[in-house]
């Protein structure tokens, strides 16, 4: 994942005082009366559906502090910020929504990269806005056919089931396979299959067929770009960088001793 929420260090995050919590609760009562169109003013188009979201609030920091599992952290950072908190997102869609929430929450934030030119060796600073780079590739799901197999795919349907299935997977190839399996809606005209059954089928599949199926899947699945370029001031060479591993991704005040 671009942002591994399981590795968020919460040790230095300070909770708000009881007085501040009371004030926040009073604010929440007011927020409940705000029309949803104003509470969730931003929207994204993802694979044929509209996802409406808001920026991070103080209560999201509090929920992040209280989070006991990686899924709880993901709820605090993304799912609770959606008009539909039960919206099911695959891991790439989740990352893309997370980047957009962060971008709207910190709209003036500029990422500073210190780059050594690959061509001439000059060290220079490169300032980049997320919005200058973040682009998605929405594609239409089509039927996958290879050998004796016919597979139909669609959007993830059940958020909790999906998260529980991929939560503890550390092997990236296994994660990619499980993600694909959870997108399958029909396999050889069958809809009454289990994830475990499909795993066994793919494990025993000829490698040539397996790779062809995944080639087709990768050509239609959702993806997004995180690659940007900086131009060397000395030789005009364009250096590539990936902002997935950007520092200070979260609001600095979330990690300040003494809280906000």
Q: Which tens digits make up the pLDDT trace of 221-246?
A: 999 888 888 899 999 999 887 776 66
Q: What is the pLDDT of residue 109?
A: 65
Report phi then psi at 84, rounded to 5. Answer: -110, 95
Single out the residue of 75, 73, 77, 98 nearest to residue 86, CA to CA. 75
Distance CA 36, CA 52 (A): 9
Residue 19 has pLDDT above 60, yes or no: no
What is the pTM for the complete model shown? Answer: 0.80
Please give the residue that has the higher pLDDT: either 225 or 1. Answer: 225
Please give the residue that has the higher pLDDT: either 10 or 212. Answer: 212
Q: What is the pLDDT of residue 33?
A: 60
Distance CA 228, CA 230 (A): 7
Residue 17 has pLDDT above 50, yes or no: no
Q: What is the pLDDT of residue 228?
A: 81
Confirm if 167 and 71 have CB atoms less than 8 A apart: yes
Residue 76 has pLDDT above 60, yes or no: yes
Q: What is the pLDDT of residue 16?
A: 39
> How does the average pLDDT of the chain come out, rounded?
83
Q: What is the pLDDT of residue 234?
A: 95
List pLDDT tens digits, range 20-46. 444 444 444 444 566 666 899 999 999
Identify the burial level of 24 via C-beta atoms within 10 angstroms of its C-beta, where 0-12 means exposed, 13-18 middle and 19 or more buried.
middle
Residue 204 has pLDDT above 80, yes or no: yes
- Per-residue pLDDT, averaged over 106-122, amounts to 82
- Return the percentage of the chain with pLDDT > 90, whole number: 59
For residue 241, list its beta bridge partners: 228
Please give the residue that has the higher pLDDT: either 159 or 226. Answer: 159
- Per-residue pLDDT, averaged over 137-158, amounts to 94
Residue 12 has pLDDT above 70, yes or no: no
- Per-residue pLDDT, averaged over 65-69, amounts to 91
């Amino acid at each position: 994942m671009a942002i591994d929420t399981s590795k968020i260090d919460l040790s230095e995050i300070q909770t708000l005082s009881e007085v501040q919590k009371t004030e926040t609760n009073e604010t929440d009562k007011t927020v409940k009366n705000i029309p949803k169109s104003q509470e969730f003013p931003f929207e994204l188009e993802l694979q044929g559906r509209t996802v409406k979201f808001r920026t991070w609030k103080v209560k999201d920091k509090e929920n992040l502090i209280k989070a006991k599992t990686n899924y709880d952290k993901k709820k605090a950072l993304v799912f609770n910020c959606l008009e539909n908190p039960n919206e099911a997102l695959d891991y790439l869609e989740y990352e893309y929504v997370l980047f957009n929430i962060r971008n709207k929450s910190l709209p003036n934030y500029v990422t500073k990269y210190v780059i050594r030119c690959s061509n001439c060796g000059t060290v220079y600073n490169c300032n980049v806005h997320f919005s200058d780079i973040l682009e998605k590739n929405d594609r239409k799901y089509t039927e996958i056919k290879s050998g004796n197999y016919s597979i139909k795919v669609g959007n993830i349907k059940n958020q909790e089931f999906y998260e529980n299935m991929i939560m503890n997977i550390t092997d990236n190839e296994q994660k990619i396979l499980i993600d694909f399996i959870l997108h399958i809606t029909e396999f050889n005209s069958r809809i009454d299959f289990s994830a475990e059954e499909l795993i066994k089928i793919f494990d025993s599949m000829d490698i040539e067929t397996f790779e062809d199926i995944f080639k087709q899947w990768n050509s239609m699945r959702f993806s997004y770009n995180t690659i940007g370029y900086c131009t060397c001031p000395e030789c005009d060479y364009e250096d590539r960088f990936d902002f997935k591993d950007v520092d200070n991704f979260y609001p600095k005040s979330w990690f300040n001793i003494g809280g906000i």
